[in-house]
Structure formats: C-alpha cells, structure tokens
Structure 1
Amino acid sequence: MTIPRPYDAVLCDFDGVIRFYDQSELTELERAVGLAEGTTAKVVFAPEVDMPALLGQITVEQWMEAAEAALAVQVPREQARALVTAFVKAPARADEDVLGLLRRAQEHVPVVLVTNATLSLEDDLAWLGLSHFADEVVSSALVGVAKPDPRIYEIAAERAGVPLGRCLFVDDREENVEAARALGMTAVLFTGLPDLETALAPLLG
C-alpha cells in the first residue's frame, strides 16, 4: 500500500534558512563607533527603510542611501556609510546540510524559494551557485508583495502548481509562519536543521 504524501510542495524561505551572513566585521565597527551590536540591522530593516527595496520600488543602492541617512542620526555620515556597507557586503554562505535535505525533497515534490528580497536576489543566487537550485523562485521585489502578505504565499503555491493546503512552508520568522498557517498550509518555524529534518521526515521516509 502506498502511503500518501503529507504535502505536494515545499515552500522555503532563503535568508535565515538557507543563506547566512558573517557579521563579525560589522559588529567590530559598531563597537568602534560606540553603537550596540545589532543597531545597524535595526536601522536597515526598519519598515520605512527596507520595505521599498523589498517591494522592488528602489534599487539596493537607494536602499543603502536611505539606511545611511537614517543611521546618520546616531553617528557621523562617513561612519554610517561604512556601517551600512559592511552590513550589505558581509560574507554569505549557503548551508549545505539544508540544501542537501531540500534536494532530497525535490526528488518527490517541487521546492519553491519564497523570499523577501531586493532586486539583487538573482545575482546573489548566482554568486552562491544556486541559480538553478529551486524549481521556482518567488521574490517579493519582483512580485510586489512581501511576507506575511497572503498574496505572496498564493503566488508561490500557484508557481508550484499545488493548492495552498497541500504546501509545507518553512521560515525563520514567526509572523511569516503564522500567516502560512492561517492560509491552511503546514508551516514550520526554522530554528535549526532539526526543524527541517522533522518537517521533511514524512516525505523522505
């Protein structure tokens, strides 16, 4: 007897699940100018600063300029520019263990990246050698809506060719996971590899 699959597509976040940054240089710079660790990230990710970039309304360069201006309230402009540059240019890596699990899942169902990203996502994927990794990529900057807006989940499910209720959604942000659950998806909060292993176990056997 064939055991039915628990879901027919995996919709997966990118940053915080697959891609991770080394922010050690930024942390050192923050200490050097007397800022608490994480101050730059708070400014960069403030909705009024990053949402236009995530919706594809401005370029990465314009986003950096907006972040620099916001940070210049706390430190001199030159230091603000150095901090924002260190944030954006921080070395990135892809988690090979996560990719390995997702590639195994791809043997059974489509895997779709669903990410709040800037217009640089295509270049970022290419740099990591992941241009052809996912079956589909849904970038907020290209579709004009960002998680946790229900529409981006609907677009991802449409791209996968699967009803919302037959999707597994994986993300490292609670609000995005809750939004997926509200649409009837199986949704998992990613805090580390064991979360993904558990979520994919019924599929991979």
Structure 2
Amino acid sequence: MTASGQEQAPAAAVEAAVFDYGGVLTRPVKESIAAWIEADGIDPHSFSRTLRAWMSRGAPAGTPVHRLETGELTVEEFDALLAAELTTIDGRPVDRVGVLSRLFAGMRPDPEMFELVEELSELGVRVALLSNSWGNTYPRERIDGLFDPVVISGEVGLRKPEAPIYELTLTRLGVPAGSALFLDDAEPNVLGARAVGMRAHLHVDAPSTRAALAALVPGLRPTRNGAPV
C-alpha cells in the first residue's frame, strides 16, 4: 500500500537481463585481489591509491584503466604501468610480468549466479553479458553458449559507465531500455545504465539478486532449492 492507502502497481516484468561478469557471475573480485596482495607482498595502500587515481569518479578520462578496458593498452603495457605504481612491504620491486594474471588468479565462477541465468533463459528472458575487460580470460565456450549478446569492452572499444556501450548492448538485444534490467557490482556502472533508461540492480550476493529478479520475472523462484533467501 502507498502512503495514500492505494495499492501500488506491481513492477513491469523484464524482457532481458544484462549481467556484468567479474564480481557478479564470479565470486567477489576483492577476494582474488586480497590473495594476490598477500602472495606478492604488495603494500595494499599503494594498490588502493593507484585504483583511486585511475578509477574514481573524479579520475580524468584516459587513465590506464580506461585505456585497458577499451583495448587501447595491451595487458603487458598495463602490467608495466601498474607495477611501476606499486610498492612491496619489504621493498622488493614488483614483478611486472603477469601482474593481472596473478591479480585475477583466484577469481572463480559463482554457481548460484550461473544457475540463476539458466533459469531466466528457460523462462523466456533474454540474457546478455556486458563486461569491462581487464584482459581477463573469459570462459568463452560457457558464456557464448549461454548469453546473447556478449559485449566485452575491449572488443568493442567502449566501456561502462559511458552510455554508448549500454546502447550497443540494447541494440544487439533488440529490446527497449525500460524492458531490460542491468546487474553490476559497481555503483557507477549501475548509475550509467539508469542514465540511458535501463532498470538496474546493484549486485551484492546471489540470494538478494535472485530475490530482486523474482519480483520482476513471473515463474522465477525467490529461493534456491527451497532454501530461504
């Protein structure tokens, strides 16, 4: 009921769900980063300082992260730039070879989220992938067989949260913005989707995302295997 005592209309069902990859379809990226920082002896303050400079909302356009995500920098070039900004706890130089490979080595798929995607597809909801790539090795056979379209920033030369990459995804889906729900674990990307008219959900974990989708997709279970959310 609304404050006026009238019943609130149910939210319209979605035709398509657009998923981010890292941190949404995988376990939290921060877990892999923490393991890398410990294994390589990285001073965590040097890493967080660099991320703020290259990724914060106030960061200038064209930072190394931006250029990596759009494919303007190779992984090897980015590795060298990142290593130059980092320090280690014991003062050793950071090995510039394979920095990103080590950073993402602990990232694992989240089975609950892949199960959710499969259920949505079975219920007739279009499912798409929209990811900013850091040179990640995606499980292409798995995602190409499940998602249509698959939009990877480095492959299309665009990046979230800028409008063109959302618009490209919607064009490939063939659905209006208001009929698509975007799911991401980064708030700026969620806001970017809303700015082009998409509905969007900030992903925290699989149970809460399932519950949010269940309110919009007829037939989707709000729980997994009978377990409470």
Comparing 172-181 and 71-80, the one that deviates more: 71-80
- Give me the identity figure in percent: 29
Structure 2 residue 38 is the aligned partner of structure 1 residue 28? yes
Q: 1:86 to 1:42 in 2, by over 3 A?
A: farther
The structure that has the greater radius of gyration is: 2
List gaps (5 residues or longer) in structure 2. Answer: 1-9, 56-62, 220-229
Corresponding residue SS for 1:57: coil
2:129 aligns with one of 113, 119, 137: 113
**What's the Cα RMSD here?**
3.0
- Gap change, CA 1:65 and 1:158, over 3 Å in 2: same
Render the CA deviation track for 1:48-90: whole Å, top value 9, x for unaligned.
2211110111211111111112226998573353793564352
Matches of 1:87 and 1:44, distance apart in 2:
17
Greater helix fraction, Structure 1 or Structure 2 = 1
- Distance in 1, Cα, partners of 2:101 & 2:155: 25
Matches for 1:79-158 after TM superposition, within 5 Å: 79-81=94-96, 84=99, 87-107=102-122, 108-118=124-134, 120-121=135-136, 123-126=137-140, 129-158=142-171
Q: 1:126 and 1:182, CA in 2 relative to 1: closer, same or farther beyond 3 A?
A: closer
In structure 1, which of residues 161, 165, 170 is the aligned counterpart of residue 178 of structure 2? 165
- Superposed, 1:53-92 pairs within 5 Å as 53-71=68-86, 78-81=93-96, 84=99, 87-92=102-107
- The letter of the residue matching 2:38 is E
Contact 1:105/1:204 (<8 A) preserved:
no
Residues 1:43 and 1:170: Cα distance change in structure 2 (over 3 Å): same
Amino acid at match of 1:161: G
> 2:58 maps to which residue?
none
Normalising by structure 1, we get a TM-score of 0.81
Any stretches of 5+ residues in structure 1 without a counterpart? none
C-alpha distance in structure 1 between counterparts of 2:82 and 2:100, whole Å: 10
User: Residues of 2 paired with 1:56 and 1:8: CA distance?
Assistant: 30
Any conservation in 1 of the 2:80–2:97 contact (CA below 8 Å)? no
User: Which structure carries more relative contact order (alpha carbon 8 Å, separation 6+)?
Assistant: 1
Deviation (angstroms), 1:24: 4.7
- 8 Å contact from structure 1 (residues 55, 146) kept in 2: yes
The 8 Å contact of residues 68 and 77 in structure 1, kept in 2 or not, is answered as no
Classify the secondary structure of the residue corresponding to 2:182.
Answer: strand
Aligned length: 197
Distance 1:9 1:58, change over 3 A: same
Structure 1 residue 204 displacement after superposition: 4.4
Residues 44, 67 of structure 1: 8 Å contact kept: no
Distance of aligned partners of 1:96 and 1:39 in 2 relative to their CA distance in 1, 3 Å threshold: farther
Match in the other structure for 1:9 = 16
- Aligned mates of 2:34, 2:192 — CA distance in 1: 32
Pick from 184, 187, 190 the counterpart of residue 203 of structure 2.
190
Note if contact 1:116-1:139 (Cα within 8 Å) is conserved in structure 2.
yes
Q: Which residue of 2 aligns with 1:51?
A: 66
Q: Which residue of 2 aligns with 1:203?
A: 217
